[in-house]
Structure formats: C-alpha cells, structure tokens
Amino acid sequence: MIGKLSLWERAVRRIKYYLFFWKSVGGVWVFDLDGPLMDTGMFYDRALKEFSERMLSVFNGKFSVKEILDKQHELDLQMMYDINPYTGEYYLLHKSRFPLSLMKTYRFFCEKIGKKFNGEIGKKMRDIGKKVFLKDEYDGVIRSEVLSLFQFLKSKNEKIFILTKGDDEIQGDKKWALKKAGIMAYCDDFYVVPDHKNKKIKEIKSENPALRYYCVGDTYKEDVEIGIRIGFFGIYIPYESNWKERGHFDDIEHYRNKSRSVRCSSIAEIKSWFEFLKGA
C-alpha cells in the first residue's frame, strides 16, 4: 500500500521511476510538418504569384497586387468555417479550400466593378490553386537536415512524432515522400488532425512517459504555445511562407514565452541546442 510507505521509501520509488524513464526514453519530440520539415509554403507563394499576375491582366491593372492578395487571404481565412457543400462539414484545411478561395477572389473583384463573372476564367484561377498539391514535387521540398536530425535524436534514444494539421490525403502524400527519403524509419508515428492539435498532443504526452517533451513548429500559437501550456518546451522556427504569421513576426517575438521556448532559424540548429535543451 502506497499510503503506508515512509517518506523515504516514496522518495526512493520516485527516483527509481524517473531513472527508469531516463534510461528508456529521454525525451519526446513532436514536430510540425509544413514549414520545419518541408518547405511546402513555396508552392503557395508560387501559386499566389501566378494568380496575382493573372488577375492584373484580367482586370487591366485596376487593382494592386496587395489589394488582390489581401482579399484572397481574408476570403481564404473566412472559408475555414464555411460549410463545404460536398462534405456538409467546415472546409477547415480541406484541399478544395485554397483553390476555391482564388476563384472567390476573382468573383469578388468582378462584383466590385460590376463585371460579369466568367466561369472559364474562374476555373482557371481555381486550377492555379490546385498546383500547390502536386505530389511529385513533395520529394524536392523536404528540408535537407531532416534525416540527419532524426537519426541524431534516435541515437540519443529520443521518441519522434510528426503531428500535422491538414487534409488526410494531402498530408498522406507528404508522408509517402518522407518514407521514400528514409525518414519515416526514424519516426515513431505520424498524425494528421483536421483543425486543432490540442487533443492529440495531450494524448501523445500521456501515452509516452518521458523526462522531457519538446514541440517544434513554425506557427507559434498552434504548434508551440499549445505544447508549452501542457509542459512541453517549445522550439519555434519562424517561416516566411507561413500564411497565418506573415507580417506578424515582431509581435510574436514580443509575446513568445522566452523561458519555455527558443527561437531557431531552422531545424539544423536543434543538434547544437541539444545539450542546452536537455537542461531546459
């Protein structure tokens, strides 16, 4: 009976408990996928560039690139909580959302100046958006440091998880690219969630007892802060192509929890921070 153990015996048990986990698993790492491990944001930058050029030509330069892209961003964010008529559920990160947001932006500007919406042009705009999901391109955007980092962490007896938000099919294609690159062999599991990571990251923690927990991501609130709240140490890697954070990096750095996170320029820095992080 635990209640009958002396204070000393309970202390010894506690020490043994921690020694056991220290020997078995030192740390548990939860990596975000898009941004830190794969430079997939470049597909969106490329598509938005093509889209804005097409819009400039369709409207004869009547609207600036900034006006066009600001409106696209606004409509794209709004669509997250619109109902997708094909599924009856919120769009969230469904693969149809981004391409449709380009068509909607074209429609918005047509209506703004009383121009007739041209279905053919609308479809072409949507097709530009679909180019962000060309699975043959995923191999080429895996960060070159991922494999060696995962090998390094495994050599230190750490557990590695990838937790990503997005469309099952799209994220599954990216997982396949990681598998072909030999990276999944060092990864303990790969999870896709449709919207929030909170529930899954809690589950990962409760199912994987360890001495330390780390969360790595490029969206401070959604990848890093949620982990910090439940005892993770955060590794925040800002990403220029992050559609939610672009333009807000200074604000984020201002309120970032500096005692429970570090800011790195890329995952390549994690190896050199490793000994420091072990004491964090």
Residues lying near Mg ion in the complex (CB under 5 A) are found at 32, 34-35, 218
Alpha helices in the chain (DSSP H): 7-24, 41-58, 65-79, 97-112, 119-130, 146-155, 168-180, 198-207, 226-228, 249-255, 269-278
What are the distances in angstroms from CA 122 to CA 103, 111, 115, 137, 269?
Answer: 5, 13, 13, 25, 44
Q: How far is the CB of 42 from Mg ion (least distance, A)?
A: 13
Beta carbon nearer to Mg ion, 125 or 201: 201
Q: How far is the CB of 249 from Mg ion (least distance, A)?
A: 14
Query: Which SS3 state, helix, strand or coil, does residue 28 take?
Result: strand
Residue 20 in contact with residue 219, Cβ under 8 Å? Answer: no
Q: How far is the CB of 51 from Mg ion (least distance, A)?
A: 21
Query: What is the chain's length?
Result: 280
Q: How far is the CB of 193 from Mg ion (least distance, A)?
A: 12
Beta carbon nearer to Mg ion, 97 or 104: 97
239 token code pair: 């990403």
Beta carbon nearer to Mg ion, 112 or 244: 244
Residue 162 in contact with residue 35, Cβ under 8 Å? Answer: no
Beta carbon nearer to Mg ion, 47 or 216: 216
Beta carbon nearer to Mg ion, 76 or 218: 218
Q: How far is the CB of 35 from Mg ion (least distance, A)?
A: 3
CB within 8 Å of 80: residues ≥ 6 apart: 90, 91, 92, 93, 97
Longest dimension (CA), the chain: 83
